[in-house]
């Protein structure tokens, strides 16, 4: 019953895999009393004898006394008829067993037949250690462990033979990087993870330290009050302030950068350094969040309180540049008081793009106080106001319309700034740089540093603006252009610019005129001006037109020579045949040059009398020498209509002249269709024999009645000049032959009587000849 009750691997206690010694006794003695109560004989004597006897099942925890040490074994009396044996190897070098020593052991194995009980001192120690660790984990207590080694991610600790893991981040309050310094040292730990079955235990020293620290902090927080002044040590510096250790490092407070100085603190490292011992004032203590706010500037008087007593608007004072931004510079005029010099208040004479052009940090400067706003803690300062404003003398020095000298200071996309006197600049707008030409950028006309003469166009001293003109210094050449360059005159110029549509030429007075691409040459087709002229080339041109209002002059190159078309009406006339050269082919015809500079067009319909031309390239090629006939001359539009087919007589007219309607000629079948046969006639023209004019036999198709290539006599029935069509007949040739035979017979038989004729011809033949003659008369 006792062996059945005890199971060292049971899950009776979820906290531990092994039973404690008290639990073993409870299990053993409880079952023993139960069996005694159930027995028939009294067991009181037996119970007395076994009062000190303990269970000897495997896994039982027992107390015993060492009675003998022999060889490699230590014999222990465990109040049983058989002694137990502990291997001597379980004792370490520094641990020596002595007879009479008491010890706790674990029953590893019992063998009643051999009379041996195998015990383990170390395993008993481990069970007791797990029990203590389990109890500490459940009660959130602590255990004392020794650090034995550094392992991955932390440290390995020993607790009475049990191995535990301490994460590196939980060894102290701060992140530790040198963990080896803790090896061989003993510390108290809190168990944060515990699993007896998996032999897993994770410890934390940080939890104990935080608890201790929190207790210390609460004690310190109770002592500190807002308004107290205390000493501290600068522990850490951040972007927003510094952490100061108070009360010998027991607690930290934050000294915000805004509370370091009455002046604006931009770089904390210039005020404090880590390790500095400083005196600070406690501004606030929050015991709930355990935060303390500190102040350094609060130990001194606020200079802004008495600013109106020390400074007055209009005062000129000495200051030091503390910060520079894109919009101005902050100047300290007294410790804790800074004012802003706006970029617009830095110089009367210079155009300041950035304050760094004039100032640098810690530079001493003289400034004038422009405004004081005590409530907003702002002071407006000026540097240029220390000196007199040169613009106040502008009206006395200059007059509108006056020509003055100046120096080009700066160029922009829209004009040039010219300094007239120190501190006074005027603007020449890009449109006022030149009377002639289109100025894209002022650098085309002037350069920085140039000394030039300008005319004052307008002045606005209140807004510090003067409008200047460069071109106004000289007369406008466009006012007299009609006198200097009358239409029709020939003048010299220089090519300034080439475009897709022509070339701009600068004349001797700077005026620019345009030679349109159509006015380059009488005789050459100019596709691109660059193929004809180049920039910088000297050319002679003729003035064609002047538009003074739009400031434009039209020039011509080809007009320097006589126009070839001027002599065309005298040299050529319609109907004239002459040679020419094909210069260009288009979809609608071919351009043919009949002399240099004179071209005519052969329309695609005027290529051939007999062929259908789909494209001129099917008939002629560029550069080919051909003969053409002039069909029409249009002098006003400079156009000549030419023809190729007209060089030869129209074969249609020739055919009609040689083969009038009613005549018979020879033809060759070249194709057949459902409605007839096409026949090639003399002169390479075509005619159509309709299917009804092939034969009297109505039962055949044209391809069955005639053969391709067959040469046949055909009769001309109709000639349509407008549509250029010829209608032919095959059967009329046969009918005419029969009629001729009949007429010949009639002439030979005039003397004979009608009855005689009846004797010679039978009735059927007579009717047939008569019908053929009547049909021939009708069709003719």
Asked whether the predicted pLDDT for residue 13 surpasses 60, the reply is: no
The pLDDT of residue 750: 63
Instruction: Write the pLDDT tens digit of every residue in 404-415.
Output: 999 998 899 999
User: How does DSSP assign 144-160, residue by residue?
Assistant: EEEEEEEETTEEEEEET
How large is the average pLDDT for residues 709-721?
89
- Asked if residue 664 lies in contact with residue 687, where contact means CB atoms within 8 angstroms, the answer is no
Q: How confident is the model at residue 30 (pLDDT cuts 50, 70, 90)?
A: very low
How many Å apart are CA 18 and CA 5, to the nearest integer?
Answer: 14
In the predicted model, is pLDDT for residue 95 greater than 90?
no
Residue with tokens 């040299």: 571
Q: How many CB atoms lie within 10 A of CB 766?
A: 14
pLDDT mean over 319-342: 90
pLDDT of residue 396: 79
Task: Check if the beta carbon of residue 149 is closer than 8 Å to that of residue 163.
Answer: no
CB 286 within 8 A of CB 345: no
**Distance between CA atoms of 165 and 28, rounded to whole angstroms?**
36
Model-level pTM?
Answer: 0.35
**12-20 average pLDDT score:** 38
Residue 108 has pLDDT above 50, yes or no: yes
Residues of the chain with pLDDT > 90, as a percent, come to: 19
Mean pLDDT of 105-134: 77
Distance CA 140, CA 135 (A): 8
- pLDDT over 80 (residue 231): yes
Q: Read off the pLDDT of each residue in 113-129 and give the average, rounded to a whole number.
A: 76
Specify the range with the lowest mean pLDDT, choosing from 213-222, 557-566, 601-610, 744-753. Answer: 744-753
Tens digit of each residue's pLDDT (9 = 90 or more) over 191-219: 988 888 888 899 998 888 888 888 777 77
Residue in this structure with the two tokens 């055949």, named with its chain if needed: 700
Token pair 């002071």: residue: 379
Total Cβ atoms within 10 A of residue 197: 10
**For 553, phi and psi rounded to 5 degrees?**
-130, 130
Q: How many residues does the chain have?
A: 780
């Amino acid at each position: 019953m006792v062996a059945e009750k005890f199971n060292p691997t049971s899950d009776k206690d979820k906290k531990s895999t092994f039973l404690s010694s008290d639990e073993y006794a409870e299990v053993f003695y409880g079952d023993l009393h139960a069996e005694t109560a159930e027995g028939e004989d009294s067991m009181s004597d037996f119970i007395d004898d076994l009062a000190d006897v303990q269970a000897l099942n495997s896994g039982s925890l027992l107390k015993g006394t060492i009675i003998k040490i022999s060889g490699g074994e230590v014999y222990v009396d465990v109040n049983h008829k058989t002694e137990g044996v502990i291997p001597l190897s379980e004792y370490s070098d520094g641990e020596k067993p002595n007879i009479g020593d008491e010890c706790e052991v674990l029953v590893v194995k019992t063998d009643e037949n051999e009379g041996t009980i195998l015990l383990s001192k170390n395993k008993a120690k481990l069970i007791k250690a797990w029990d203590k660790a389990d109890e500490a984990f459940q009660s959130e207590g602590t255990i004392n462990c020794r650090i034995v080694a550094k392992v991955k991610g932390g440290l390995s600790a020993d607790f009475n033979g049990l191995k535990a893991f301490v994460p590196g981040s939980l060894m102290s309050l701060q992140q530790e990087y040198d963990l080896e310094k803790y090896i061989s040292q003993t510390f108290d730990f809190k168990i944060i993870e515990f699993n007896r079955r998996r032999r897993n235990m994770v410890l934390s020293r940080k939890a104990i330290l935080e608890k201790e620290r929190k207790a210390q902090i609460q004690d310190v927080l109770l002592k500190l009050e807002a308004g107290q002044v205390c000493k501290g040590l600068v522990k850490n510096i951040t972007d927003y302030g510094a952490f100061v250790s108070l009360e010998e490092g027991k607690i930290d407070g934050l000294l915000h950068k805004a509370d370091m100085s009455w002046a604006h603190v931009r770089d904390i490292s210039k005020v404090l350094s880590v390790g500095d011992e400083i005196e600070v004032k406690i501004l606030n203590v929050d015991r709930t969040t355990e935060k303390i706010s500190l102040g350094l500037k609060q130990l001194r008087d606020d200079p802004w309180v008495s600013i109106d007593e020390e400074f007055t608007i209009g005062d000129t004072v000495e200051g030091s540049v503390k910060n520079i931004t894109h919009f101005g510079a902050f100047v300290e005029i007294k410790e804790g008081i800074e004012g802003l010099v706006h970029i617009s208040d830095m110089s009367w004479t210079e155009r300041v793009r950035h304050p760094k052009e004039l100032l640098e940090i810690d530079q001493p400067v003289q400034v004038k106080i422009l405004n004081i706003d005590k409530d907003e803690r702002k002071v407006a300062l000026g540097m240029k106001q220390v000196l007199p404003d040169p613009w106040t003398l502008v009206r006395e020095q200059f007059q509108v319309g006056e020509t003055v000298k100046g120096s080009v200071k700066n160029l922009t996309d829209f004009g040039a700034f010219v300094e007239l006197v120190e501190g006074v600049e005027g603007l020449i707008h890009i449109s006022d740089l030149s009377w002639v030409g289109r100025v894209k950028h002022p650098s085309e006309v002037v350069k920085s540093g140039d000394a030039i003469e300008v005319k004052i166009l307008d002045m606005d001293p209140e807004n510090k603006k003067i409008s200047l003109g460069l071109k106004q210094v000289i007369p406008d050449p466009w006012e007299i252009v009609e006198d200097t360059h009358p239409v029709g005159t020939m003048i010299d110029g220089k090519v300034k610019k080439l475009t897709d549509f022509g070339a701009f030429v600068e004349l001797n007075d700077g005026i620019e005129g345009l030679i349109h691409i159509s006015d380059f040459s009488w005789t050459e087709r100019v596709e691109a001006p660059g193929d004809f002229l180049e920039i910088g080339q000297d050319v002679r041109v003729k003035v064609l037109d002047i538009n003074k209002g739009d400031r434009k002059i039209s020039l011509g190159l080809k007009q320097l020579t006589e126009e070839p078309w001027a002599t065309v009406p005298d040299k050529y006339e319609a109907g004239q045949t002459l040679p020419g050269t094909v210069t260009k082919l288009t979809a609608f015809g071919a351009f043919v040059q009949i002399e240099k500079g004179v071209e005519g067009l052969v329309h695609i319909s005027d290529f051939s009398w007999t062929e259908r031309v789909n494209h001129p390239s099917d008939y002629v090629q560029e550069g080919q020498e051909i003969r053409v006939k002039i069909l029409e001359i249009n002098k006003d539009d400079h156009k000549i209509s030419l023809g190729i087919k007209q060089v030869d007589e129209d074969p249609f007219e020739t055919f009609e002249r040689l083969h009038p309607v009613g005549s018979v000629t020879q033809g060759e079948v070249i194709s057949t269709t459902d409605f007839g046969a096409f026949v090639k006639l003399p002169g390479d023209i075509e005619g159509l024999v309709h299917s009804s004019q092939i034969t009297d036999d109505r039962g055949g198709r044209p391809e069955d009645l005639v053969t391709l290539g067959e040469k046949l006599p055909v009769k001309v029935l109709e000639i349509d000049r407008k549509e250029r069509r010829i209608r032919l007949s095959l059967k009329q040739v046969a009918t005419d032959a029969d009629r001729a035979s009949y007429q010949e017979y009639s002439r030979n038989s005039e003397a004979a009587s009608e009855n005689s004729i009846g004797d010679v011809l039978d009735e059927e033949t007579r009717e047939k000849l008569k019908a053929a003659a009547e049909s021939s008369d009708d069709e003719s």
